[in-house]
Amino acid sequence: MKHASHHPTPASDWYENAFDLTRGIAAYTRSPLVDGIAKVIAKHPDADIANAFNHKQVACKIWARDTLLQAAGKSYERIVVLGGWYGILPAMLLEDRRFEIAVAESYDIDPSVETVARTLNATHADRFRAVTADMYAIDYPRLGADLIINTSCEHIADLRSWLELIPAGTRVLLQSNDYFSEPTHINCVASVEAFADQAKLSTIDFAGALPTKKYTRFMLIGTV
Ligand SMILES: C[S@@+](CC[C@H](N)C(=O)[O-])C[C@H]1O[C@@H](n2cnc3c(N)ncnc32)[C@H](O)[C@@H]1O
Q: CA nearest 96: which of 116, 123, 129, 115? A: 123
Ligand 1 contact, 152 CB (< 6 A): yes
Same-domain pairing of 33 and 59: no
Residues 94 and 163 grouped into a single domain: yes
Domain assignment of residue 153, given as a range = 52-223
**Whether residue 198 sits in one domain with residue 178:** yes
Q: Which of 86, 152, 162 to mutate to test the pocket of ligand 1 (most atoms within 8 A of CB)?
A: 152
State whether 64 and 40 are in the same domain: no
Looking at the domain assignment, is residue 4 inside a domain?
Answer: no
Cα-only R_g, the chain: 18
Same domain, 178 and 83: yes
Q: Which residues contact 45 (CB under 8 A, 6 or more apart)?
A: 15
Same domain flag for 77 and 171: yes
In a domain, 65, yes or no: yes
Q: Does residue 172 sit within a domain?
A: yes
Q: Are residues 173 and 215 in the same domain?
A: yes
182 and 151 fall within a common domain: yes
Residue of 112, 134, 136, 155 to test ligand 1 pocket, by largest number of atoms within 8 Å of CB: 155
User: In the chain, at which residue ranges do the beta strands (DSSP E only) sit?
Assistant: 75-82, 100-108, 128-132, 147-150, 171-177, 203-211, 216-223
Same domain flag for 69 and 37: no
Q: Would you say the CB of residue 158 lies under 6 angstroms from ligand 1?
A: no
d(CA 5, CA 1): 9
Assess whether the C-beta atom of 59 lies below 6 angstroms from ligand 1: no
Residue 170: inside a domain? yes
Q: Are residues 156 and 218 in the same domain?
A: yes
For ligand 1, whether the C-beta of 215 sits within 6 Å is no
Examine residue 5 and state whether it is found in any structural domain, yes or no.
no
Q: Indicate whether 20 belongs to any domain.
A: yes
Q: Kindly give the confidence (pLDDT) of every residue in the chain, 224 residues in length, as a single tens digit, with 9 standing for 90 and above.
A: 444 455 555 666 888 899 999 999 999 999 999 999 999 999 999 999 999 999 999 999 999 999 999 999 999 999 999 999 999 999 999 999 999 999 999 999 999 999 999 999 999 999 999 999 999 999 999 999 999 999 999 999 999 999 999 999 999 999 999 999 999 999 999 999 999 999 999 999 999 999 999 999 999 999 99
**192 closest CA partner among 182, 171, 214, 177:** 177
Q: Verify that 70 and 101 share a domain, yes or no.
A: yes
Q: Is residue 143, in this structure, part of any structural domain at all?
A: yes
Residue 150, domain CATH: 3.40.50.150
Domain match, 180 and 119 both: yes
Probe target for ligand 1 pocket from 65, 109, 134, 148, with the most ligand atoms within 8 Å of CB? 109
Mapped onto helix, strand or coil, the DSSP state of residue 143 is helix
Q: How many domains does the chain have?
A: 2
| pLDDT (tens digit per residue) in 164-191 | 999 999 999 999 999 999 999 999 999 9
Ligand 1 pocket, 151 CB below 6 A? Answer: yes
* 110 close to ligand 1 (CB < 6 Angstrom): yes
Q: Ligand 1 mean position to 174 CA, how many Å?
A: 13
On whether residue 102 sits in a domain, the answer given is: yes
Q: 150 CA to middle of ligand 1, Å?
A: 9
- Give 85 Cα–ligand 1 centroid separation in angstroms: 6
